[in-house]
Amino acid sequence: MEAWNEILTYITAIGWGAAVCFVLGIALVIVEMFTPGLTAPGVTGFILLIVGIVLTADTFLEALILILVIMALLSIILFFILRSASKGKLNRSPIIKKDTESDYISVDDMKFFVGKEGVALTVLRPAGTCDFNGVRLDVVTEGSFIQKGTKVKVIRVEGRKILVAPSTLDN
């Protein structure tokens, strides 16, 4: 309870307007961290932070200290956001976004290619690229080398790995 009294005393000392500017400014800059390229929240947040500094600081030194504190706070927040995103703890869907579902091929859809025949577009040593009726796929052999232009057949799909072998019709 005493901590809340201290926070309220500090907010009253700097003014409610400045406190709202700081809180909204930091929140909008954090939104910008999650949605890069949007710029409107980041610019608005930056402007609100500047207004909060102007409303709060009486001297240039106080303004400089506030700027350093805000930069340190935002740097710490950005560090934790990036660390969480790199470890997969944050949902990356706001960062990587596609317009339509037709742009995606899921792992289950790859099983469709089992038994299909195509042509090696590159030498498969053992990885390379093949064309299956206009669909280019990265494929892997079970260790053998297959020359460019050889007909291949998808024998198995393991997750995102598509295994091919020379087509028996090619012999």
pTM of the model: 0.44
Residues 123 and 67 in one domain: no
What domain range is 123 assigned to?
Answer: 102-170
Q: Which has the closest alpha carbon to 20: 67, 60, 55, 64?
A: 55
Residue-wise pLDDT for 57-113, tens only, equals 888 888 888 888 888 888 888 888 777 777 666 554 444 455 555 555 555 567 888
Residues 71 and 24 in one domain: yes
Q: Where are the alpha helices (DSSP H) in the chain?
A: 2-14, 16-34, 40-56, 60-86, 107-110
The answer to the question of residue 54 being in a domain is yes
Residue 44 class from Cβ within 10 Å (0-12 exposed, 13-18 middle, 19+ buried)? Answer: middle
Residues 71 and 109 in one domain: no
Q: Would you call the peptide bond into 126 cis, given omega within 30 degrees of 0 as the criterion?
A: yes
Residue-wise pLDDT for 128-161, tens only, equals 999 988 888 889 998 888 999 999 999 988 888 8
The answer to the question of residue 82 being in a domain is yes
Task: Give CA–CA dist 26/8, Å, rounded.
Answer: 19
Residue-wise pLDDT for 28-43, tens only, equals 888 887 776 767 888 8
The answer to the question of residue 124 being in a domain is yes
